[in-house]
Amino acid sequence: MTEKAKITFVTGGSGGIGKSATARMLAHTLGLHGYRTGLVDGNPGQQSQRSYLRIPDSKALEYAMVDGLQAALVKPRDTGGAFALLAGPADPQSRDANRDYMEAIIGLRSMCRMIVVDSDRIDGRLWDDASSFAGGLMRPMVEEAGARIIFRIGSTGSQLDDGLAALDAIGRADATLAIPVAAPGMRAGGAGRWRRMLSGLASYGGEDVWDARSAALLDPKRRACGWPKGMEPEWLVRCAVWAGADGKRWRPEGGGRVWPWTR
């Protein structure tokens, strides 16, 4: 495999708007459609992927530096999805976490076709702070390595205001796809409104309107990793294409097989 994997960070300006679920769903659909995909749990303090997928503490970021990436990765047979997972650090307060993440992601680029990084919330202060995950890892990878951002944004209140402020601070409309989120039974505002609002800040990727099917996919008892192949909502397909996938694979006649991590 000579082509370096494409890197996509999934983030947002607020908590509770589905960043981790989106990262997991994106990694899963990329894997289902034939892309060898690695999902990185890039939120050291929360580690939502570890909790949701019930990953033991014996799998942690630090061990990739000691035993190698292959030993540290949680393979699809254990994640339950069509992706391998690199869990966060065993010590969430580690001062070396950003360095370890950087080295691991660089290593994964030669092992995968796609890398999806589940990231914490972001704001202007964090984007400018080289010691934070956003400023010390996400920013240089976007500006120097061609990584892309998928940004979840709420449709009202502080989730909207904080999201717009964060997008303005990032200042990379060329590298950012915004996904507005709406509560069940509501609309996020319509494509025209969002394109006007996001002008100069990000591309518009479609609305994610939560419904009963969305809620079922977030049920930790089911541990579902994403939508069944061919049933993905339009916003998720746009995320996959933004990450670098071929949109033709999501058409009814599209092909693509899972590339097993055992190879």
Q: Is residue 258 part of a domain?
A: no
More confident residue, 147 or 218: 147
Domain span including residue 203? 6-247
User: Would the pLDDT of 263 be above 80?
Assistant: no
In this prediction, residues 243-258 reach a mean pLDDT of 75
Among 16, 17, 29, smallest CA distance to 8 is for 29
As a whole number of angstroms, the distance between CA 145 and CA 100 comes to 17
As a whole number of angstroms, the distance between CA 19 and CA 153 comes to 9
Q: Is residue 51 part of a domain?
A: yes
How high is the pLDDT of residue 132?
93
Q: Is residue 25 part of a domain?
A: yes
Q: Is residue 261 part of a domain?
A: no
Among 213, 257, 224, smallest CA distance to 80 is for 224
pLDDT band for position 194 (50/70/90)? Answer: very high
Q: What are phi and psi of 60, to 5 degrees?
A: -150, 160
Q: Is residue 259 part of a domain?
A: no
pLDDT band for position 115 (50/70/90)? Answer: very high
More confident residue, 260 or 222: 222
Q: What is the DSSP string of 96-107?
A: THHHHHHHHHHH
Q: Is residue 257 part of a domain?
A: no
The model's pLDDT over 133-173, given as tens digits with 9 standing for 90+, comes to 999 999 999 999 999 999 999 988 899 999 999 999 999 99
How high is the pLDDT of residue 7?
97
In this prediction, residues 27-53 reach a mean pLDDT of 92
Q: Is residue 24 part of a domain?
A: yes
Cα–Cα separations (whole angstroms), residue 112 to 13, 35, 49, 78, 166: 28, 8, 19, 18, 30
Amino acid at 96: D
In this prediction, residues 184-213 reach a mean pLDDT of 86
Q: Is residue 214 part of a domain?
A: yes
**Do 226 and 24 contact (CB within 8 A), yes or no?**
yes
How high is the pLDDT of residue 147?
97
How high is the pLDDT of residue 1?
46
Among 177, 119, 182, 184, smallest CA distance to 150 is for 177
CATH number of the domain residue 237 falls in: 3.40.50.300
User: Would the pLDDT of 235 be above 50?
Assistant: yes
How many domains does the chain divide into?
Answer: 1
**Do 44 and 118 contact (CB within 8 A), yes or no?**
no
As a whole number of angstroms, the distance between CA 88 and CA 139 comes to 19
Kindly give the pairing relationship between strand 148-154 and strand 84-86: unpaired
